[in-house]
């Protein structure tokens, strides 16, 4: 939501071997089948060659030097290797001084190689040599092939490190997967995830908690001005809110998306729902608004808002197909209709889900045989049937009992 539409996602696999000492070869074979990092042969696959050349070739820019003392935060140019290597960490019980000396030597070797790569193998530099060989590179910096292979096979910390197969002409080619690159015709970056789930979560979350420098500064200035003017808290917050609403910078692409209601900035299709199946006493519920609470009888205990479980319990039992539904199916098929007019027939879901669109996309209409709307028994709530049923996800913290 900060520029060109793009996607950051986790792709879950079921057939990837777990990385361990005895499965390393199988893991590498799996990675080689799905992740590529080389410039393909132009004669064999000219389309893929053009796509990689256009979208996957890295060129240093000011973005690379976002962090101080880092020449390229994306770590280009990458190391050349004729096969994919999984670099392993040193033994945990190794003497700390010995470990430090080994890692220092490793860093010295690979730093020299990377500097040479950036000078000789960077296509954007005048010193680029398209005819350089790995032997030429290593001989120029007085490093043997054996020392280079030793260094690239060691991880600098306690995690594994992956070096994808990259010929010497591909040190500035970014990771990709063929199906994705040909399908999107845009830059893609497929990164295998090891066991460090924390790093993975941090990476994904960082994209929706980015700061906006200009907006942040405007808010700081508004807060400072409110303090200097000695205004009350309410007026101060109003000024800060106005600064936030009026100073956020958006890209041209986002402006277009916001001006054209038929375009979505974000969309989940089919919809995914979370349904808590924990014991009633462990479920989290939301209280009604104060106005709703004030209207209750003094002895009423009906203080919570309705939810999908309450609505399921309150479903009409005189309709067999509704009565026989389990909670998951009910949540997947029905949602609360907030329109006050029960006879309203217009569909609030996007028009692209009309019957013609669904037929053209071979999408099955899952509400066949289900009432379009149902009225709950003990409330005024109306439930509406989805054209495309949602995915329901349940979660429970139930403890095992004897």
Residue 230: the pLDDT is 86
Nearest to 310 by CA among 398, 384, 371, 376: 376
Residue 393: the pLDDT is 64
DSSP string, 230-248: T--HHHHHHHHHHHHHHH-
Residue 83: the pLDDT is 92
Distances (CA, A) of 42 to 46, 129, 132: 5, 19, 19
CB-based contacts of 29-34 (< 8 A; 24+ apart in sequence): 31/84, 31/162, 31/164, 31/192, 32/84, 32/165, 34/177, 34/190
Neighbours of 96 (CB within 10 A): 7
270 phi and psi angles, rounded to 5 deg: -70, 165
In the chain, domain spans: 23-195, 211-259, 272-279+306-395
Spatial neighbors of 170 by CB under 8 A, at least 6 apart, are: 37, 38, 39, 78, 80
310 phi and psi angles, rounded to 5 deg: -65, -40
Residue 226: the pLDDT is 85
List the chain pLDDT tens, one digit each, 402 residues: 445 667 778 888 888 888 888 888 999 999 999 999 999 988 999 999 999 999 999 888 877 877 777 778 888 889 999 999 999 889 888 999 999 999 999 999 999 999 999 989 988 888 988 899 999 999 999 999 999 999 999 998 888 889 999 999 999 999 999 999 998 888 899 888 876 778 778 877 776 666 566 677 778 888 888 888 888 888 888 888 888 777 766 667 777 777 887 776 666 667 778 888 888 888 888 888 888 888 888 888 888 888 889 899 999 988 888 999 999 899 888 988 776 444 444 443 443 444 454 444 444 545 557 888 888 988 878 899 888 888 766 655 544 433
Residue 363: the pLDDT is 44
Write out the two tokens for 285: 């519920």
* Helix, strand, coil tally for the chain in percent (to 5): 40, 10, 50
| 87 and 172 Cβ atoms separated by less than 8 Å | no
Residue 167: asked if its preceding bond is cis (omega within 30°), the reply is: no
Residue 1: the pLDDT is 41
| 337 and 388 Cβ atoms separated by less than 8 Å | no
* H-run or E-run covering 331: helix 327-333
Residue 67: the pLDDT is 74
Residue 139: the pLDDT is 92
């Amino acid at each position: 939501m900060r520029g060109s539409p793009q996607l950051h996602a986790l792709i879950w696999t079921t057939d990837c071997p777990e990385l361990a000492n005895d499965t390393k070869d199988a893991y590498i074979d799996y990675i080689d089948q799905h992740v590529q990092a080389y410039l393909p042969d132009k004669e064999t696959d000219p389309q893929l060659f053009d796509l990689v050349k256009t979208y996957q070739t890295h060129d240093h820019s000011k973005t690379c030097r976002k962090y101080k003392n880092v020449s390229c935060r994306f770590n280009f140019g990458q190391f050349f290797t004729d096969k994919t290597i999984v670099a392993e960490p040193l033994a945990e019980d190794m003497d700390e001084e010995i470990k430090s000396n080994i890692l220092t030597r490793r860093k010295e070797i690979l730093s020299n190689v990377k500097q040479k790569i950036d000078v000789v193998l960077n296509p954007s530099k005048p010193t680029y040599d398209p005819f350089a060989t790995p032997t030429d590179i290593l001989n120029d910096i007085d490093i043997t092939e054996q020392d280079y292979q030793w260094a690239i096979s060691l991880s600098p910390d306690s995690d594994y490190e992956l070096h994808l197969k990259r010929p010497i002409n591909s040190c500035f080619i970014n990771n990709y997967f063929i199906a994705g690159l040909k399908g999107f015709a845009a830059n893609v970056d497929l990164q295998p995830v090891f066991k460090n789930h924390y790093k993975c979560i941090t990476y994904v979350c960082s994209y929706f908690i980015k700061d906006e420098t200009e907006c942040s500064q405007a808010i700081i200035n508004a807060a400072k001005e409110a303090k200097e003017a000695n205004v009350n808290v309410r007026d101060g917050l109003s000024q800060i809110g106005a600064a936030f609403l009026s100073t956020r910078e958006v890209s041209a692409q986002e402006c277009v998306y916001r001006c054209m209601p038929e375009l979505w900035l974000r969309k989940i299709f089919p919809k995914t729902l979370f349904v808590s199946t924990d014991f009633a006493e462990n479920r989290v519920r939301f209280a009604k608004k104060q106005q709703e609470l004030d209207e209750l009888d003094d002895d009423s205990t009906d203080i919570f808002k309705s939810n999908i479980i309450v609505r399921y319990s309150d479903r009409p039992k005189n309709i067999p197909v509704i009565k026989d539904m389990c909670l998951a199916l009910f949540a997947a098929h029905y949602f609360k209709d907030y329109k006050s007019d029960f006879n309203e027939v217009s569909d609030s879901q996007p028009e692209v889900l009309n019957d013609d669109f669904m037929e053209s996309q071979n999408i099955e209409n899952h509400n066949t045989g289900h009432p379009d709307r149902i009225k709950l028994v003990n409330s005024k709530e109306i439930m509406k049937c989805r054209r495309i049923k949602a995915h329901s996800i349940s979660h429970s913290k139930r403890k095992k009992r004897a």
